[in-house]
């Protein structure tokens, strides 16, 4: 879904085809893609944290996720640099990797609430909708407030999107208590599932490289130099 959405976005953004991801079907397809991505982040965190709790003390456990979150945030800053150099206007300041990085740092503080995180996530999402129509100073950008003139090709603030991750943590604590699955799955993966298994395992790498690959293919197909 993510790769398909970005193909459509690039086709419209660079004027290759008359499509838009800012309205109609593709807008909501993009929202659904981001929501599923972040929901899985929350579920995965719940499993990872429960496993870490088996052999790491409190500070050691938090330090693991602090470092992981900082690493993901650093990758987000590379996206910021790359989009600033390539696009200029509309470059990514607080996109989905920035969000995930900060969320992984914050998530250990919420793990203890278990399934109640679904409720907390709902509150966070509602707060995001309330803030969505409000302008604010530039330094509140990560929270969902920003000057009216601000725009970015990828803006994923903590409100409402951290709420989706919290909902995933809540769902994970119910579906995978103590990192143990409460439901059964086939022992042998279904036919044709290898591509999905591979993409699930390597989702971060795919996220980092898929846009340059898409742009390269589009440049080869159109003969145009695609730049912001």
Peptide bond into 160 cis (omega under 30): yes
What confidence tier does 228 reach under pLDDT thresholds 50, 70, 90? Answer: low
Give 3-state DSSP helix, strand, coil % of the chain, rounded to 5. Answer: 70, 0, 30
As a whole number of angstroms, the distance between CA 140 and CA 223 comes to 41
What is the pLDDT, as a whole number, of residue 188? 79
Question: What does residue 151 show for φ and ψ, rounded to 5 degrees?
Answer: -155, 155
44-71 pLDDT per residue, tens: 999 999 999 999 988 999 999 999 999 9
Which residue do the tokens 């579920």 mark? 43
Q: Which stretches does DSSP call E strand in the chain?
A: none
Pairwise pLDDT comparison (193 vs 206), residue with the higher score: 206
Which spans in the chain are helix H?
2-13, 24-52, 58-86, 96-106, 117-132, 158-175, 194-201, 203-222
Dihedral of alpha carbons 34, 36, 40, 46, sign: positive
What confidence tier does 187 reach under pLDDT thresholds 50, 70, 90? Answer: confident
Pairwise pLDDT comparison (195 vs 66), residue with the higher score: 66
Radius of gyration of the chain (CA): 19
Percent of the chain residues past pLDDT 70, beyond the cut: 99
What is the pLDDT, as a whole number, of residue 195? 87
Mean pLDDT of 105-134: 95
As a whole number of angstroms, the distance between CA 93 and CA 144 comes to 12
As a whole number of angstroms, the distance between CA 94 and CA 91 comes to 9
Percent of the chain residues past pLDDT 90, beyond the cut: 79
What confidence tier does 226 reach under pLDDT thresholds 50, 70, 90? Answer: confident
Dihedral of alpha carbons 2, 208, 179, 106, sign: negative
**Which pair of tokens denotes residue 98?**
């920035």
CA proximity to 22, closest of 90, 115, 121: 90
CA proximity to 170, closest of 107, 116, 110: 116
Hey, where are the domains in the chain? 2-222
As a whole number of angstroms, the distance between CA 92 and CA 132 comes to 18
As a whole number of angstroms, the distance between CA 34 and CA 28 comes to 10
What is the pLDDT, as a whole number, of residue 179? 93
CA proximity to 65, closest of 77, 53, 78: 53
What is the pLDDT, as a whole number, of residue 190? 81
Predicted confidence (pLDDT) at residue 77 exceeds the cutoff of 80: yes
Q: What is the pTM of this model?
A: 0.93
143-183 pLDDT per residue, tens: 999 998 999 999 999 999 999 999 999 999 999 999 999 99
């Amino acid at each position: 879904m993510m790769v398909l959405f970005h193909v459509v976005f690039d086709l419209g953004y660079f004027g290759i085809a008359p499509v838009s991801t800012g309205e109609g079907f593709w807008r909501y397809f993009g929202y659904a893609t981001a929501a599923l991505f972040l929901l899985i982040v929350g579920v995965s965190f719940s499993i990872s944290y429960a496993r870490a709790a088996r052999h790491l003390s409190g500070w050691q456990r938090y330090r693991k996720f602090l470092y992981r979150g900082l690493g993901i945030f650093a990758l987000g800053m590379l996206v910021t640099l790359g989009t600033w150099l390539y696009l200029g206007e509309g470059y990514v300041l607080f996109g989905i990797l920035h969000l995930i990085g900060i969320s992984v740092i914050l998530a250990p503080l919420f793990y203890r609430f278990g399934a109640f995180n679904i409720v907390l996530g709902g509150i966070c999402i509602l707060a995001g909708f309330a803030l969505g129509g409000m302008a604010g100073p530039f330094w509140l950008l990560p929270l969902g407030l920003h000057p009216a003139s601000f725009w970015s090709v990828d803006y994923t603030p903590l409100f409402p999107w951290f709420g989706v991750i919290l909902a995933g943590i809540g769902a994970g604590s119910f579906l995978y208590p103590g990192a143990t699955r409460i439901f059964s799955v086939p022992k042998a993966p279904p036919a044709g599932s290898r591509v999905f298994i591979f993409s699930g395992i390597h989702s971060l790498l795919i996220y980092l490289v898929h846009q340059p690959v898409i742009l390269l293919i589009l440049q080869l197909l159109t003969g145009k130099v695609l730049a912001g």
